[in-house]
Structure 1
Amino acid sequence: MKTILLTGFEPFGGEHNNPSWEAVRRLDGKHLHDGSRIVAALLPCAFGAALDTLAVKIRLVAPDVVVCVGQAGGRADLTIERVAINVDDAPMADNAGQQPIDAPIVANGPVGYFATLPIKAIVQALHAKGIPASVSQTAGTYVCNHVFYGLMHMASSRHAIQHAGFVHIPYLPEQAAAHRGAPSMSLAMMMDALMILLETTISVKHDSHVSGGSTH
């Protein structure tokens, strides 16, 4: 039986909740069809502290799979991130008041890391269930990318982690209402989507060879 570490973030940017944690925390303790168990963890929305918390959770849980989830207000679908880049360039301060600019996440680390999730097979599985999803070519340069890059850097030296990656989810409907009709997704659909993502990750041996690129 595999152990899956699934993380979400605390609210940030003046929001009262964060859909990533609202969805993730409700999946804590659930099992996949093969018996794999989900362990949920909350990360602070703060540079440095988020990775410190993630590292502690990885040591304690010893997961086979790690998927971090973040909020991407303005995006209309579930976006599976392809690549993390080694730079913090914050457009606003984090919850600890930090705003790093043009700072490496890992000094002398690789320029980037690719996710080791079957990203295209995940998108196909979500589409088959009527859930909007796509491959994303950028996780931004805020705390989400910071965590994504840090996770992949840790996973590169921890061979027990078989799959790792990051997914962004849209606003909840109540958040979208406060943002004058921004795209949103129901909490129930987000939870279903994450379960499908995990089931696909566990079951798929080789990712689908289909286009997931974009022209912009």
Structure 2
Amino acid sequence: MSGFEAFGGAASNPSGDVVERLAVSGHPGVELSTVVLPVAFGAAGERLRAVVDEVQPDVVIALGLAEGRSGITPERVAINLDDARVPDNDGAQPTDERIELHGPDGRFTTLPVKAIVDALQRADLPASVSLSAGTYVCNHVFYVLQRLSEQRKLQRRPMRSGFVHVPATPELAEGRIGMPSLSLDELERGIRIIIDTVVATPVDKRIRGGAIH
């Protein structure tokens, strides 16, 4: 499982904070490895690739922060595009650049995103399937991760993988009128539900979860 370090002048990043909690406490029935990635286009993908090569996981759940979203949102597709509105933590700010020159325009998650949303909602946590991971470092890592999943499949070492965005915590939302948030305890509970759902659901549920716009 991966999360991100703080960026944009913030003191923390809930995605990385949750991962660090799980690194300490673990999760019942699961051999859990964690990494907190840099918010940097080049370094994040390389770091994730190195950890996947070292650990050889069966499942990778990558987490990132989406301020402004009101719930936990598993992503369905990563697109082959870096387009940064603000510089990353290394000062890079790619504009309209392909992540992989000859790669497909999009790569889909192999996590059961609809089952995940259903489980979160049943646990009274706000959640929905997202059809856009943006064009910043989160999407970059998601796209790279799904490439690694494709490679593992060709090597007959299947690895399910995908990306989940989490909303701001109350601490990050403080002073920002109208910004929704979930506490770190709620986010941890949600991520644990996601882990259990992924383990128990090899094939996603066929339930409505699309979007009109």
TM-score, normalised to structure 2's length? Answer: 0.95
Aligned-partner SS, 2:102 = coil
- The aligned counterpart of 2:7 is 12
For residues 139-154 of structure 1, the aligned pairs below 5 Å read: 139-154=133-148
CA displacement at 1:158 relative to structure 2: 0.9
Partners of 2:69 and 2:131 in 1: CA distance? 13
- Kindly state the Cα deviation for residue 129 of structure 1 after the two structures are TM-superposed: 0.7
Misfit runs of 4+, over 6 Å: none
Equivalent position of 1:180 in the other structure: 177
Which of 40, 43, 50 is equivalent to 1:46? 40
Number of matched residues? Answer: 209
Q: 1:3 — aligned with what?
A: none
Residue 108 (structure 1) aligned with residue 114 (structure 2)? no
Query: Higher helix proportion, which one?
Result: 2
3-state SS in 2 of match to 1:45: coil
Contact 1:46 1:95 in 2 (8 A): yes
Structure 1 gaps, min length 5: 1-5
The answer for the alignment partner of 2:124 in structure 1 is 130
Contact 1:66–1:161 (CA<8 Å) still a contact in 2? no
CA-to-partner distance for each residue in 1:118-157, whole Å, 9 max, x for gaps?
Answer: 0000000111111110000000000000000000011100
Corresponding residue for 1:31? 27
Residues 20-78 of structure 1, C-alpha deviations (whole Å, 9 max, x = no match): 0111111116133xx22111101000011000100111111111100110000000000
In structure 1, C-alpha distance between the alignment counterparts of 2:176 and 2:167, rounded to whole Å:
12
**CA-CA distance at 1:161 after TM superposition:** 4.0
Matched, 1:57 2:54: no
- Which amino acid in the other structure matches residue 12 of structure 2? N
Q: 1:171 pairs with 127, 149, 168, which one?
A: 168
Please give the root-mean-square deviation of Cα atoms over the aligned residues, in Å. Answer: 1.0
Q: Secondary structure at the match of 2:60?
A: strand
Aligned-pair identity in percent equals 47
How far apart in 1 are the matches of 2:112 and 2:47? 25
Displacement of 1:201 in angstroms is 0.5
When normalised by structure 1's length, the TM-score is 0.94
2:10 aligned partner, one-letter code:
E
Richer in strand (by share): 1
